[in-house]
Structures are given as C-alpha cells and as structure tokens.
Chains A and B, each alone.
Chain A
C-alpha cells in the first residue's frame, strides 16, 4: 500500500468485489505463507487422493500400463459379479451400524456418569476407560483371553466349571467371530470423542442447571435432554465424525484376531477387500471403486448424523 499514488487508491465502495478480495489477499500474504506448507502436503496426501480415486475407479489400471477408461464397469462388476464384495459390504454395514452408534453412546454415557466425580477420581477413571484405545495393539491380548486351547481364560474357566468338554476355537468359529470382534472394537473405542465429551460436559455453565432446576426440571434424565445435550452439540458433531471414521474403516481388529481372510469370510470387510485388490492383485482401478464406495457411505452417514443431532433437545 505504501507506494500507492493518490490516483490508485480506491475506497472499498469503489472497488469491485474481485478487486477487494485481491486487495485482501495481497494484504494477508503472510497468512498464505503460513498455511502453505501444511496445505500443500494436505492436498497432495489427502484431497487429491480422494478426488483421484474417483477418477481411477472409472478405469482399469494395474500400475504398469497407463489407466484404461472403462466407465462404470468396475462398479457393475462389484455389485453384480463379486459375491465377496457383497459379503464385505454387508459386514462393513453391520460393523458400522453396531460399533459406530454403540461406541458413541457408551463414550457419552461414561463421560456423563463420571462428570460429577471428584476431579482426582475422574482422572483415574478416565485413564482406565481411555487406555485401551491408545495402548497400541494391546487388543492382541484378546487372542489369549479367547485362545483356542485350555490356557485361554475363557476356555479355561468354561472347562473348569464343566460348561464345555473341549476348548472352543473362538476365532475360527463362524458363530463367535463377529460378536467377539465387535466387543474388542468397543473395548478400544473410548477414544478422542470420549475425551471431547468429558471436556464438553465440564464446560457447561453450572448456572444453566440451576436455572433448569427452578424451571421445573425434575430429574437427571430431563436435565440431560433439555440442558446437557443441547449445550454439547458441537462436541456431539465432532464425536460423530470420529465414530464414523472408526466404524467404517473397521478391519484391522478382524485381521489381528481372526486372520485375513477369516474363516468362511465371516467378518471380512471392505477394508480387507480393498487391500486384497490393491496390494495383492494390483487392480488399482477396482480397488479405487471400493474405496470410493466406502467414502460415499461415510459422507452419507455424516449427513444422516448431522440431521439427527440437530433434533437433540427438541420436545
């Protein structure tokens, strides 16, 4: 601005919208320099990959030859000719529909229950509930708790009590794979959103409860619905996004506990199917179609959850 002669200086009202924006851009050069390093990497490793996977999903591509455009072929094959995909899709939806809402609700309820504890006790309880989600692959211990021989806790106790005669092969038995994987997933699921809920609850102004009490709120359930939940909408939104990511990307726990592929493909998810085509068969176009379907399902879930949360606190 310093070199501007009087002729060049315009007031805001004299500028077109584009000119004004350009003026602001120039004035905030530093800001763009500050976000540039992060944003460039973010675009290279996150935004462009998502966009490109849509493009690649319309091609046949083996990483060696140039991608060949095949339009909707990959999607048609997926839904009509690939039984394993349909199994994977079904399992992913089951896992997401169970672990997503369950982990979300458990995180909230536990956070709400411990909210009124004394701060030191609360810190310890928080640690107990949060630890499994950060403790690396500590969930591998479940392979020992439910190991297929008598030395596993579950089999050991059941044998000892005479409930069963021979050890159950929990992680090979199609009856137990899904429920056990869901339990383990829930065990590791009190993560970031749990902490966010704890902080959100702590942040609610106590005078709101006081006022509610005077206004005729009778018990803690009414208080929860009319005061607590509406005050926590931002945290609820944040937690929902994380729950969606976690539950649709489900797969790692199944691989760790039941192997990949698991017995009779019980618990086989889209993540497994995608990895199979990406890493083993090098059919990148096909794998991209799977990843794009996964992406669309997450977006859909997000829209749905946003709508549900906006209803919170209405009578």
Chain B
C-alpha cells in the first residue's frame, strides 16, 4: 500500500512494492533507449576528427571541440547557397506560418467554441476528421492549386497552407470550451462589447496556455519541415533539407552531421522545455468526445 499525496488530502491506493520496482526498471530501460541516441549525437558533435574515427567507438569525448559547428558554415561555404541561408529560410517559414496560423485558428476556435451558430458542430466535425488527412493525401491537388496561383517555388507555398493547419485549432477550441466561462462572455456582450472585442480582450487572455501550445506546435512542424515538392530552388530550401544533404556526404562528414543535427534539435527542445507546463495544461482538454 502506498499513499498518494494530492494537494488537499492523502489517498490510499493499492500499490505493491514489486509493481513499483518493476515499473521503475522498465522506465529506466526505455529511458536509456530513448536518451542514448540523443546523447550520442551531442557527443559526436563535440568530438575532434581523430576521436570520431576511434575504434571501438567511444561514448564519451576526451578533448571536446566546437570545430564541427564552425565546419558547418565552411562546408556549405563552397556551395553557392551558404548555410546561413538555410537557417534564414527555416526561420522565415516557421515564423510566418506560425503567426498566420495563430491569428486565423484562434479566431476560428473562439467562434466554434463559444458562439452557438448553425453549422458550428458540422465545421468542427470536419476539422476533427481532417486530423487524419496527411499531407500525402492532399499533396497532389495542392500542387495543382499552388501552381495555378503561381506560388510554386515561393515561400508562400509552404507558409500559407500552414495557416490552416488543424491540430492547433483543434487543441485551442477544446481548451477554450473548458476554460472560458460563458457567463463572463455573456456579461461582456450585455455591456455592449462587440464579439471581436470580447474575443480579443476577454477570451484570449484567459487561454494563454492554449495559444502558447498552438505556437509551439505550429513552429515545431514548420521548423522540422524538410524537402517539399513545392520548392525546387536551392536558395529557398530548409535547414532540414540541408542537413540531409550533409548526411548524404557519408562518414567523412560524421562530425558536421552530428553538429547540424544538434543545431536542428536544440531549438524545438528548448521551446518545449520553456512551454511544457502550458502544453500539458492545454492537453488536459485535448480529448475527443465523439
């Protein structure tokens, strides 16, 4: 038996010591499996050339160095698109796409969650189902649409479709539904506030975790976006693509690959660390009620 502490009282739960030990052991094994590749990436990135080719491979580094990181810029310095350009592209796409998604999805989520209008349920049902539609299914027609508008091979081909990404909207709508009290909105409306004003100055401040989560999700998705069939000019391609090119260089670039992977992973991980509690709070209402 074990006591589970909660904020207000203690609860006695059926817990056996054997079970606790078993769970800890399984978690530890899984945890090591999850963590080792990440750890090894970081170690590789810090290894000088002679240690990268040491046999058998080592799980630690003797003389850590940052040359691999500066190599990244030199390595791509010879190609006509500098490494910094890939970073710029990725940042531009991530920020542009996230901002649009935040504005459009928040507006839409608010209306769907807090205004009772004909069709609201139907629209939301579509959005729920569309969580299943991968880019693979929609890609063909999107290519045709984008080439008709003339956006193929421009940043817009990546940025604008990201504005209507549904996962953020879904989470936001669910969160708004359970975290904004209808009474507060009603009284604002009675005071004569317009729906837009109620949205902006009353609803939005109440769902900070919701929009933080939306930002994180949208940003991560775009940051990690790789080669796209909508973009073919080298100077418009993303960091993710550049890294796969470096990796294709094989063993000779082991250090640079590890370094670029570290650059790539550090940003989304930091973003998550900062926003973790907000994201978990948002996820509390992520459930799907038929």
**A interface residues with partner B (beta carbon < 8 Å):** 21, 24-25, 28, 30-32, 34-35, 37-39, 41-42, 44-50, 52-53, 56, 63, 106, 110, 113-114, 116, 123, 125-132, 134-145, 147, 149-153, 156-157, 159-160, 187, 190, 192, 195-196, 198-200, 202-203, 206-207, 209-210, 213, 217-220, 222-223, 232-235, 237-238, 241-242, 244-245, 248-249, 251-252, 256, 270-271, 274-275, 278-279, 284, 287-288, 291-292, 294-295, 298-299, 302
Given A41-B160, A137-B244, A144-B258, 17 additional A-B pairs, CB 8 A? A30-B115, A38-B163, A41-B163, A49-B138, A53-B138, A126-B276, A127-B269, A137-B261, A138-B265, A145-B37, A192-B283, A196-B286, A219-B19, A235-B287, A235-B288, A249-B135, A278-B229
Chain B, residues 121-140, CB within 8 Å of chain A (1/0): the string is 00100111011111111111
* The residue from B16, B44, B145 contacting A45, defined by CB atoms under 8 A apart: B145
Asked if B240 and A234 make an inter-chain contact with CB atoms under 8 angstroms apart, the answer reads no
User: Is B264 among interface residues, defined by CB-CB distance under 8 A?
Assistant: yes
Distance from A241 Cβ to chain B, minimum over Cβ atoms (Å)? 5
Contact A278 B140 (CB under 8 A): yes
Asked whether, in the complex, the Cβ of B57 is within 8 Å of the Cβ of A238, the reply is no
Known: A199-B284, A241-B131. A187 touches B140 (CB 8 A): no
List chain B positions with a Cβ less than 8 A from chain A: 4, 6, 11-16, 19, 23, 26-27, 30-31, 33-35, 37-38, 40-41, 44, 52-53, 55-57, 104-105, 107-108, 110-112, 115-118, 120, 123, 126-128, 130-145, 160-161, 163-164, 166-167, 169, 194-196, 199, 217, 220, 223-224, 226, 229, 239-240, 243-244, 247, 251, 254, 257-258, 261, 264-265, 268-269, 272-273, 276-277, 279-284, 286-290
Give A213 to B4 CA distance when docked, in angstroms.
Answer: 13
Query: Total A-B residue pairs with C-beta atoms closer than 8 Å?
Result: 315
- Chain B residue nearest to A136 (CB atoms) is B264
* CB < 8 Å neighbour of A160 from B56, B123, B279: B56
Q: Are B196 and A30 in contact (CB under 8 A)?
A: yes
B220–A134 touching, CB < 8 Å: yes
Bound CA span A24–B243, Å: 53
Complex-state Cα separation, A235 to B283, whole angstroms:
9
Q: Is the CB of A238 within 8 A of B288?
A: yes
Chain A residues within 8 Å of B35, by CB: 128
CB within 8 Å for A21 and B118 given contacts A41-B164, A291-B136: yes
Q: Which residues of A are found within 8 Å of B137, using beta-carbon distances?
A: 49-50, 53, 291-292, 294-295
Point out the residues of chain A lying under 8 angstroms from B194, CB to CB.
30
With A140-B261, A202-B284 given, is the CB distance from A149 to B251 under 8 Å?
yes
Q: Are A39 and B141 in contact (CB under 8 A)?
A: no
Residues on A with beta carbons closer than 8 Å to the beta carbon of B127: 42
| A130 and B120 contacting across the interface, CB-CB below 8 Å | no
